[in-house]
Structure formats: structure tokens, C-alpha cells
Amino acid sequence: MAEDANSKLPLVFYGDDFTGSTDALEVLTGAGLKCALFLQPPSPQLIAELGGFDAIGIAGDSRAMSNAEMDDALPAVFHAIKQLSPSVVHYKVCSTFDSAPSVGSIGHVIGLASAIFDVTGIPIIAGNPKLGRYCAFGNLFALSKTDHQVHRIDRHPIMRAHPITPMQEADLSVHIGQQANLDIAKVTIRHIEETEDLAALAREVGREHDAVLFDGVTDEHLTAAGRALTELAIGSTSVFVVGSSGVEYGLTQHWHAGGRTCNHQAQVAPLHPVAQVLVVSGSASPLSQAQIDTALADGFVELPVDTTGLISDARRGAILQELVTAALAYLAAGKSVVMHTAKGTADPRIEQMIEAMVAEGLNRDNARTYGGKRLAFELGHVVLAILEAYPLKRLVISGGDTSSQITKVLNPDALVIKSYLSPGAPLCQMHSEKPYLKSLEIALKGGQMGDRDYFVRALRG
């Protein structure tokens, strides 16, 4: 990619979970940019040692954080990113924007970023038609893979019933604004289609508002938003933007139209089959249930997780060892394994885990949030023990929080795109000096991502 005149790094993104981070990485790689995903902000020296990049990502887990946890974790990350002096800083959220005032609050992040980057009128890019996400007059719509219909987000069969952050408001200016008492303006599809200088409009409106929400229904709408972001970034101050991988689509489409991208597509290999895979699913979505059932029908072996036992101080060690022993036996016999914590929203293990956390003194909302995080962390140690004992080639993790916590436990140095598996949920290659991670391929997917045969495709190519 051609360097800007000021030699800035064009883009740095921070993903609020690991599945969303690989989604953004996939878009950039597919557009021909040289990029990598790190677990911690790299120093300028490390970036130079690795040969330079057109863009970099930092995988985080703020989607599952309280506001206090964000206050502890995000300022240091934002300041480190600021030191890299990128043209655009992207806080990457899920394309369904599911969040709440007290968990994964996008509004709280906007407040933090406004202070640290000394900006107002932060752009919010909401549409992502490549993933079946559409924003019209501020209202978000999303394709459901369960019935293949587009629903307003507050009527979406999966997102309206999300176990942690159910979407109950479709107007994102209201949804995000209520999280931190923000005044959010809208740049609608009419503005996008009728305004010649969209950046000037966004700059003018942004002076009087905390954030500016951009509609997006078509690829052309995203390209226009990408052009506006690029023009807003001219100068010495980084542009901070919130949004899905629609930000990456919009920027790269605009850059490509201007001849600014290079061709690194050769780095992405065809999706080859492997002898076996280990799937770990921490998602309760109906789509994840269908993906598990499809895998079992194809010959995968099922390993249900005793969720209450795995987070119990008294039983954790025994349950962990049972899971590791069983998984290793199946893998040694040449089987593919799908380990899961729930099969659908009605799985009794969900309520049993919540009741166990309530018994420890938490209220139900905190029990659901922190129980899930704790469970995912313990699953990370299950996976780590399996990898240390067995030379696994390919690992698949389902569920945003589950993917974040397990990958943090494994702690690779970086991830790069290996192959395309499903839009928004690619196959990645780990970079690490740890022998059990050196050759490991990993796919991270959110509960609403992929088709029913996603796990089977991860095995058979």
C-alpha cells in the first residue's frame, strides 16, 4: 500500500472481542494489505522488526467488561495506539452492536476515547452489507442465518434473546446514546447520496455532537463513509471511529478506488482438509446449536461440559482432567471432537450455572456475565492441556467471549489470516515460539456467524 505523505500507519484497530478482531483482519488481508493481529499493542520498534505493516489489529475482550473494568484496561491500550500515530483508530465492535450500559458499553468507550484522543463527533459506522447488516435512518437490520431473513435488530431471533446483551432498541443513536448520556447525530442514506463533501458535513455536525452515526445499506454507502474517514484523517490528529468491519470494508474500498492498495492475496492459502479438528463451543445461540448438530451428524464426537462443575472450586480440577482425558482419547483414535457448554438457549446447564453463581452471592445479571467469563477462562486451560499433550493441527472456537478468553490463555504472539472459511470467521495461523502453538491453525467465530456446516467445513475444507 502506498504510504501517505506523512508516513503514518494508515489504520490500527482494537477489537472488543477476538472473533470480531479476526473478522476485521480478514477484510484487510482480502483487500491486499499486509497486516497482523496482536494480543497487546506492539511497539513501533517491533513493527519495524517484523517488516512493517499496512495495518495492525489488537485483539481485546472489552465486549464482556463492565465500565470499571474498561476504565482499568482501555486507557493504556488507547495511549499505546496513540503513540503509533495512525491515521485512523478503529474501535471494532460486533456488527450487531449488542452491548449494554453496564456490559460492553460502546457509549462508555466513546467517552473514554473522546478524552484520550481529544476529539468530539466520533464517527460510528453501522452498516456492513457483506455480512448482511444494514443501517437505514439510524435503525440496524441484520440477516439471521437461522431463517435467512433480514430482521430489525430488536426483532432478530438471536440478538433479541442474547443471553448477556439482548438488543431491545433498533435505533443505534438511541441505543448507544442511552449507555452514556451521549448526543448522537445521524448522517442518513439521504445525506450520503446527496452530499458532495461528506467529510465536511461530518466535521460540521460533529462539532455539536458527541458522535455521528453513519447509515449504510450498500457497498457504495460504505465506500462514501471510507472516503469521509480518509479525508477527516488528513492532518496530525488521528481519527477515532467506532463500528463493525464495515469500517475496514469502507476504507479499503475507497483506498482501492484510489489505487492505494497492494497485492498480498498470495499469503492466503486455499482451505485444505485436515485429519481432525477440535471444536470448543461456548455459544448458546440457535445457530451454534445447528452447527453442533450438523457436526455430530457428520461423525464428530460430542463432549458436553459440566459447566457448573468446571467453575466450582471443589470440582474444577476433576472436571478439567475428565474433559482433557476424554478429548485426548478421541483425538488419538482419529476422531474430531465438539466440546460444548450449551446446545441452544434452553439448555439446562445455563440456568444451573447461573444458580451456582447466585449461590456465591452474585445477582442474576452478574452471575450470567461473570459465570460465562469464568467458564470460558477454565475452558482455556482445558484446551491448553490438550494442545500440550497432542499435536493438533486445527482448533475451532465458537462464541465471542469464549474465543477471547481461550485465546488469551493460549497467548500467541500474533495471528495472521491463513484461509477463508466463512465471511467474518476466517481460519488463522498462530505465530508463537511455543512448540504446541507453532503450527496451530485457529478459527474464531461468533455465535451468529457461519453456516450450519461451519464446523464440518473447518474439517473437510
What separation in angstroms does the CA of 105 have from each of 91, 259, 304? 12, 37, 32
- pLDDT reading at 54 higher than 70: yes
Name the CATH superfamily housing domain 11-264: Putative sugar-binding, N-terminal domain (3.40.50.10840)
Overall average pLDDT of the 362-370 stretch? 84
Question: Could you report the per-residue pLDDT of 209-259, keeping only the tens digit for each?
Answer: 999 999 999 999 999 999 999 999 987 789 999 999 999 999 999 999 988
Does residue 206 contact residue 124 with C-beta atoms inside 8 Å?
no
Question: Could you report the per-residue pLDDT of 297-338, keeping only the tens digit for each?
Answer: 999 999 999 999 999 989 999 999 999 999 999 999 999 999
Task: Compute the distance between CA of residue 92 and CA of residue 360 in angstroms, rounded to an integer.
Answer: 34
Q: 356 in helix, strand or coil?
A: helix
> Left if phi > 0, otherwise alpha if psi is -120 to 50, otherwise beta: which for 208?
alpha
Looking only at the bridges linking them, the beta strands covering 184-187 and 211-214 are parallel
Question: Could you report the per-residue pLDDT of 414-455, keeping only the tens digit for each?
Answer: 899 999 999 989 999 998 989 999 989 999 999 889 999 999
Give the residue, 1 or 418, on which the prediction is more confident. Answer: 418
What's the pLDDT score for residue 388? 97
Q: How many Cβ atoms are within 10 Å of 323's Cβ, its own excluded?
A: 26
Task: Compute the distance between CA of residue 231 and CA of residue 235 in angstroms, rounded to an integer.
Answer: 9
Overall average pLDDT of the 365-378 stretch? 87
Overall average pLDDT of the 378-386 stretch? 97
What's the pLDDT score for residue 62? 95
Which of 14-52 are b and which e, b meaning 16 or more Cβ less than 10 Å from the residue's Cβ?
Answer: bbbbbbbbbbbbbbbbbbbbbbbbbbebbeeeebeebee
Architecture of the CATH domain 278-460: 3-Layer(aba) Sandwich (3.40)
Task: Quote the radius of gyration of the chain (alpha carbons, Å).
Answer: 21
The domain limits of the chain are 11-264, 278-460
Residues of the chain with pLDDT > 70, as a percent, come to 97
State the pTM of this model.
0.87
What's the pLDDT score for residue 53? 87
What's the pLDDT score for residue 265? 53
pLDDT band at 49 (very low <50, low <70, confident <90, very high): confident
- pLDDT reading at 189 higher than 90: yes
What's the pLDDT score for residue 4? 43
What's the pLDDT score for residue 262? 63
